[in-house]
Amino acid sequence: MKRNCGGAAMIVGAVLLSGCAAGGGSSEVVSTEPPAGELRYESWTPTEETFDAVVSAFTEENPEVEVVGTLSPFEDYQTALQTQLRSGQGPDVFVVQPGAMLNQFAQYIEPVEAYEEAFDGAGWREKYNAEPLERASVGDETLGLPVGYGVAGFLWVNNTLLEQNGLTAPASYDELVEVSESLADAGVQPIAFGAKDTWQDVDYYLALAAALDADALYAAMAGEGGWDDPELVEAFGAWQSLFQDGVVQQGAAGAATYTDTYDLFTQGKAAFFANGSWNLDMYRNSLDLVERYDIDVMRLPVPGSDSSAPITGDTAVVVVNKYSENKSAAFQLARYMSSGAGAQILTDAALDFPVTVDGPTPEGLPESAQQARATIEDLIANDLAGYRQVPSPSVNTALGDALVGLISSDLTPEDAAARVQSAAEEAQ
Amino acid sequence: MTSGRFALTALAAITLLWMLPLVRLITVSLEGDGLGNYVEVVQSEGLVRYLGNSALVTAGTVVLVLVFASAGAFAFSKLRFRGRNTLYAILLTGLMIPVAAILVPLSEIQKLFGLYNTYPGLILPYTALSLPFALILLRGAYDALPDQLLEAAVVDGAGTFRAFVRVLLPLTSPTLVMVGIWTFLNSWNEFLLALLFMSAPDMRTVTVVPASFQLAFFVDVPKIFAALVLIQLPVVLLYAALQKRFESGLTAGAVK
Amino acid sequence: MTATTAARAVDPPDVEAAAVAARPRRPSGEDPRWRRGWLGPLLVLPAALVFAIYIAYPVVANVATSLLGNTEIDPTLRFIGLDNYEWMGTDRASLLAFRNVAVFAALTIPVQMVLGFLLAVGLRGRGVLRAAMRTLLFLPVVLTPVVVGYLYADLLEASDGPVNEGLRAVGLGVLAQNWLADPALALPVIALINVWMWTGFSMAIYQAALTSLDEEVLEAAALDGAGRAQTLWLVVAPMLRPAHFSLLILGVIGTLKTFDLVYVLTRGGPDNASQVPTTLLFQTLLDGRDGRAAAIGTIVLLLALIITVLQLRQYLKGGRS
């Protein structure tokens, strides 16, 4: 779709070569004027309240600009974003997940390198941690700015609940099975798992696969290896056994994380919870429920072995619309959220992890949250297997579907692997 | 041939059972805070604004559909011109179009006319989608009116158009009511286009609101249900109020 | 379809030929002046224009797009001929979707018609009670699918939703299922919800058709010694052929168009178990595969057209659809 060249707006005092036909190239002149005009922001995150706080801080510093934010649940957001972008009605600033989503929307994104250089000089990369920045890139080009690093593939543990039933946190899978049995007798759910959410299923599959053979996994993710690698097939089997050995709650296949299993855990009805580090925000949203418990996190024990699974990590990526008429301002908002004062506001609300070297730590972190957060920091430092999002959209879909099929129909691990593999081959 | 007491009791039981889900909708919405749930929903999320948007879009659609379809149905039924039958048949194929199938071309048209996040941006597609059914209903109504009526009016000196508006159109009012109600229903309840083409926060219609309520009322099911009840209320009230007309509209045509 | 057209035994809803045939022929071959002229085209112009822009053009554009394709890596669309249709014929999700929509039609249309018919017969006549019941039973028809979706998602919640809790309370806990997450159950359950929503509509159509029935014929049948059930089956039902026909056509088209309910309840999952062509189209579109989505849309439209034409022919021949 071509942009109407005549419609490109002029930014205060600057000339921008906006995307007439081929989109922004490296010969652009970037405006560093303070942001002005109207900016549209769309995303599934953060909450309206938090975003309003970011906006008011941003507009206080930059009174000439007006920001209009639209926040929707993730799937609805993706839907709306797709049609809007495709007909040139997309927002100026939006957020994507790395991997599949970033690849899918790359054609609509204005790379940030030129802008960063204009604002922060040639050494702008130094202020970021390497991994988040890589996730915000496709190939060598940095497309967006990372916001809020998070990890997944581990378990939340309610130690209070375990102690009440005379149990301790399991160190191996067999122990987990035993603990789950005892919990069941006491009417407590073991792992609250929202298996209806395919993104959850993928997260924990990745953890298990990385435990068994991380190289094979990441080769397959990069399209260089096969999903039918024996270790990966074994991982499908391990995933399946989670749901057969009673370590996961009844009806997990139909439970959604928000809010079915989230409720189970925060209300003290389940001893473990399958969710990522972003779940720290339960200390904001449900503090009165969870502060009475001694909560920590632990790695997922791997079925059929004595080991525990590593974690995978990712950020969200704030990007500028290639066809925006206000790109410089849009960039400045993105920058504000990623490495500016906005990052602090976001971290305070989400309680997540920094993407910059001197990144913000959440202020006013509730005491009850500190233990879990510290353990997560440890995990990030020591047990990070790699990135979290599957790069190919169709493989991601096939993987999610296969994982659901493994636990709700008679799909076998071999067939599951074959399905994902054929999706991968077709995507080439 | 009416049913006896036994059958009636059985039917009453069925009706009761049938209504249980709706009963639950109401009882859950009153949990916790009772009517306070409703108050909070209206206050905190600007539900009134969304109801207003839906009302505007729906009203616009109903007006356009009634006008266009009446004119068209009259012409198809009473007038003669070339390609009349073919055109009618083509217009009727609109009945079979799944909205999802024309999403992308539709969104490009929206962009072309600059109609994203505007009221016409929804009113026009809704009108197009409701026209086929409206045409069928109204054409049936006009077919049922004897040609003599029109002839008489024309002979009396009125132009054809005048005769149409003054004489025939009023006679189709039961069907007009039906078409109006049906169009109202379909526009109010429409989900997909509203989700995609009215994404600006203050322009949203009422069908897409539950999703955003889930974000706002994170864990609060009673409040979400209260919102759902409020969203349905206008349509249910309209139905309750016009239900007699609705039924008589159906049967009036049948008796003829 | 309205009873206006449905109740007429001779005049089927939208068939030009029959309608023209039924109208008395003019003695002279010429139309009077007031019929001709530019008023006709002028009056249909608004409708035709809106239709052309918002329906005709998109359909044509859709067919054109269905001949284009792209890959995941390169989103530009190129001409690929009929490859998208080939994909539709071999891809697992696509085959499941079309199978599901057929199953869905079989599960919903007959049930809605039979139930609607019985309810209309049973609730026939005057009386506050009957009128009230008719009103209530029609109520689900006016609900928006989003509300129905949320409501039933909550009702059918596996761990502590009322349906399962109720079953457990009466000791039938073993019957408690993962209603919407079990691949074997998802589609039938959605079909059931659809029946709940739409039976009232069938009932209303039949009810209107029944009011036009000739009481004398019914009395004659009763005098002849025909029992209730016999009268219903052998006399009444055949007299309502136009209503049956309308409901069948509307039912098929409606099923092919079903989107909102499935999308809100399961989005087509789990693992494509409740996928229907429209939801698959939507998902394919979101994945950026425009050509494929357009192909699905074209096929759905074609199916609707063909089935409608076939049903029409059957109806006109006088045989049962």
DSSP 8-state class, residue C222 = H
Q: Rounded CA gap, C81 and C64, in Å?
A: 10
Q: Residue A401: list chain C partners with CB under 8 A.
A: 269-272
Check residue C249 and give its pLDDT. 86
In SS3 terms, A83-127 reads as HHHHCCCCCCEEEECCCHHHHHHHHHEECCHHHHHHHHCCCHHHH
Check residue A242 and give its pLDDT. 94
Q: What are the structural domain ranges in chain B?
A: 32-255
The structure tokens 């600009």 sit at A65
Average pLDDT score, chain C: 82
CA distance A75 to chain C (A): 10
A25 touches chain C (CB under 8 A): no
C68 lies in a domain? no
Average pLDDT score, chain B: 83
What CATH homologous superfamily does A5-147+317-350 map to?
A: Periplasmic binding protein-like II (3.40.190.10)
Check residue C321 and give its pLDDT. 39
C66 lies in a domain? no
**Residues in C 78-107 with any Cβ partner in A closer than 8 A:** 92
Q: Residue B21: list chain C partners with CB under 8 A.
A: 151-152, 155, 196
Query: Same CATH topology for A5-147+317-350 and A152-313+368-426?
Result: yes
Q: Rounded CA gap, A213 and B58, in Å?
A: 57
Q: Rounded CA gap, C159 and C153, in Å?
A: 12
Nearest neighbour of C180 by CB, restricted to A254, A264, A402: A254
Preceding peptide of C270 cis, ω within 30°: yes
> Nearest-CA neighbor of A249 among C157, C159, C171, C164?
C159
C217 lies in a domain? yes
Neighbours of chain C (3+ CB pairs under 8 A): A, B
Contact call for C270 and A250, based on CB within 8 A: no
Beta-bridge partner residues of C69:
C78
CA distance C75 to chain A (A): 8
B228 touches chain C (CB under 8 A): yes
Q: What are the structural domain ranges in chain A?
A: 5-147+317-350, 152-313+368-426
Largest CA distance in chain B: 70
Preceding peptide of C188 cis, ω within 30°: no
C227 lies in a domain? yes
In a mutational test of the B interface, the residue from C1, C4, C152, C299 whose CB has the highest number of chain B CBs within 10 Å is C4
CA distance B173 to chain A (A): 40
The structure tokens 């003669």 sit at B80
Contact call for B116 and A68, based on CB within 8 A: no
Structure-token pair, residue A336: 């504000």
Lowest-confidence region among A122-126, C83-87, C218-222: C218-222
The CATH number of residue C203's host domain is 1.10.3720.10
Check residue A59 and give its pLDDT. 93
The dihedral built from the CA positions of residue C218, C221, C222 and C226, taken in this order, carries a sign that is negative
CATH topology of domain A152-313+368-426: D-Maltodextrin-Binding Protein; domain 2 (3.40.190)
pLDDT tens digits for range C97-117: 999 999 999 999 999 999 999
- Is-contact B147 B74, C-beta < 8 A? no
The answer on pLDDT for B129 being more than 90 is yes
Check residue B32 and give its pLDDT. 81
Preceding peptide of C266 cis, ω within 30°: no
Report CA-CA distances (Å) from B147 to A108, A202, A248: 60, 68, 73
At position B147, the amino acid (one-letter code) is: D
Q: Rounded CA gap, B132 and B135, in Å?
A: 5
Check residue A147 and give its pLDDT. 93
Nearest neighbour of C54 by CB, restricted to B109, B232, B254: B109
Contact call for B137 and C4, based on CB within 8 A: yes
Q: What is the ipTM of this complex?
A: 0.84
Q: Are strands C68-69 and C78-79 parallel, antiparallel or unpaired?
A: antiparallel
- The correct CATH number of B32-255 out of 3.90.1580.10, 3.40.50.300, 3.30.565.10, 1.10.3720.10 is 1.10.3720.10
B102 touches chain A (CB under 8 A): no
pLDDT tens digits for range A311-321: 999 899 999 99
Structure-token pair, residue A200: 């959850």
CA distance B20 to chain A (A): 23
B191 touches chain C (CB under 8 A): yes
Lowest-confidence region among A218-227, B45-54, C157-166, C210-219: C210-219
The structure tokens 């004119």 sit at B71
* Number of inter-chain CB pairs under 8 A, A vs B: 57
The structure tokens 């543990």 sit at A157
Nearest neighbour of A259 by CB, restricted to B111, B195, B219: B219
Neighbours of chain A (3+ CB pairs under 8 A): B, C
Q: Residues C65, C71, C72, C77: what is their CA dihedral angle, to the nearest 10 degrees?
A: -40
C62 touches chain B (CB under 8 A): yes
Check residue B168 and give its pLDDT. 86
- Is-contact A81 A90, C-beta < 8 A? yes
Residue C156 phi/psi, 5-degree rounding, is -95, 10
Determine how many CB atoms are found less than 10 A away from the CB of residue B155.
12
Structure-token pair, residue B37: 């749930």
**Closest-CA residue in chain C for B68?**
C47
- Is-contact B254 C209, C-beta < 8 A? yes
C51 touches chain B (CB under 8 A): yes
**Residues in B 75-134 with any Cβ partner in C closer than 8 A:** 75-76, 78-81, 84-85, 87-106, 108-109, 124-125, 127-129, 131
Q: Rounded CA gap, C127 and A84, in Å?
A: 53
> Nearest-CA neighbor of A291 among A368, A379, A185, A186?
A368
> Nearest-CA neighbor of A355 among A144, A138, A132?
A132
pLDDT tens digits for range C30-52: 667 667 778 888 899 999 999 99
Determine how many CB atoms are found less than 10 A away from the CB of residue A21.
7
Nearest neighbour of A408 by CB, restricted to C71, C157, C181: C181
Structure-token pair, residue A425: 């081959």
Residue A386 phi/psi, 5-degree rounding, is 160, -160
Check residue C33 and give its pLDDT. 65
Contact call for C62 and B101, based on CB within 8 A: yes
Segment B219-241 mean pLDDT: 84
The answer on pLDDT for C147 being more than 60 is yes
DSSP C131-179: HHHHHHHHGGGGS-HHHHHHHHHHHT-TTT-HHHHHHHHTT-GGG---T
C28 burial (CB, 10 Å; 0-12 / 13-18 / 19+) is exposed
Nearest neighbour of B201 by CB, restricted to A70, A83, A263: A70
C173 touches chain A (CB under 8 A): no
Check residue B2 and give its pLDDT. 60
Contact call for B104 and A73, based on CB within 8 A: no
Beta-bridge partner residues of A43:
A71
Contact call for B250 and C55, based on CB within 8 A: no
Contact call for C211 and B251, based on CB within 8 A: yes
Contact call for C287 and A107, based on CB within 8 A: no
**Residues in A 200-259 with any Cβ partner in C closer than 8 A:** 249-251, 253-255
A40 touches chain C (CB under 8 A): no
> Nearest-CA neighbor of C187 among C88, C255, C91, C86?
C255
Residue B14 phi/psi, 5-degree rounding, is -60, -45
- Is-contact B61 B131, C-beta < 8 A? no
C183 touches chain A (CB under 8 A): yes
Contact call for C124 and B3, based on CB within 8 A: yes
Contact call for A393 and C72, based on CB within 8 A: yes
- Can you count the helices (H) and strands (E) in chain C? 17, 2
**Residues in A 220-259 with any Cβ partner in B closer than 8 A:** 258-259
Contact call for A104 and C159, based on CB within 8 A: no
C262 lies in a domain? yes
- Is-contact C124 B2, C-beta < 8 A? yes
Band of pLDDT at residue B132, cut at 50, 70 and 90: very high
Q: Residue A198: list chain C partners with CB under 8 A.
A: 269
Check residue C99 and give its pLDDT. 96
At position A301, the amino acid (one-letter code) is: P
- Is-contact B187 B130, C-beta < 8 A? yes
Contact call for B212 and A73, based on CB within 8 A: yes
What does pTM read for this prediction? 0.81
pLDDT tens digits for range C230-289: 777 777 778 888 888 888 888 998 899 889 899 888 888 788 999 999 999 988 887 778
pLDDT tens digits for range C187-209: 999 999 999 999 998 998 888 88
Nearest neighbour of B96 by CB, restricted to C130, C260, C308: C308
C135 touches chain B (CB under 8 A): yes
Provide the phi-psi class of C69: left if phi over 0, else alpha when psi is between -120 and 50, else beta: beta
In SS3 terms, B216-253 reads as HCCCCHHHHHHHHHHHHHHHHHHHHHHHHHHHHHHHHH
C169 lies in a domain? yes
What is residue A190's three-state secondary structure? strand
Q: Rounded CA gap, B97 and B100, in Å?
A: 8
Structure-token pair, residue A119: 């604002």
C36 touches chain B (CB under 8 A): yes
Contact call for B103 and A83, based on CB within 8 A: yes
Beta-bridge partner residues of A40:
A68
Among B149-153, C62-66, C227-231, the range of highest mean pLDDT:
C62-66
Q: Rounded CA gap, B59 and B52, in Å?
A: 10
Full residue range of the structural domain in which residue C283 is found: 91-287
Check residue A93 and give its pLDDT. 95
A60 burial (CB, 10 Å; 0-12 / 13-18 / 19+) is exposed
For chain A, list residues with pLDDT below 70. Answer: 1-29, 87, 428
CA distance A104 to chain C (A): 7
Structure-token pair, residue B157: 């000196």
Check residue A6 and give its pLDDT. 34
B237 touches chain C (CB under 8 A): no
Q: Rounded CA gap, C112 and C106, in Å?
A: 10
> Nearest-CA neighbor of A299 among A210, A420, A178, A399?
A210
Beta-bridge partner residues of C138:
none
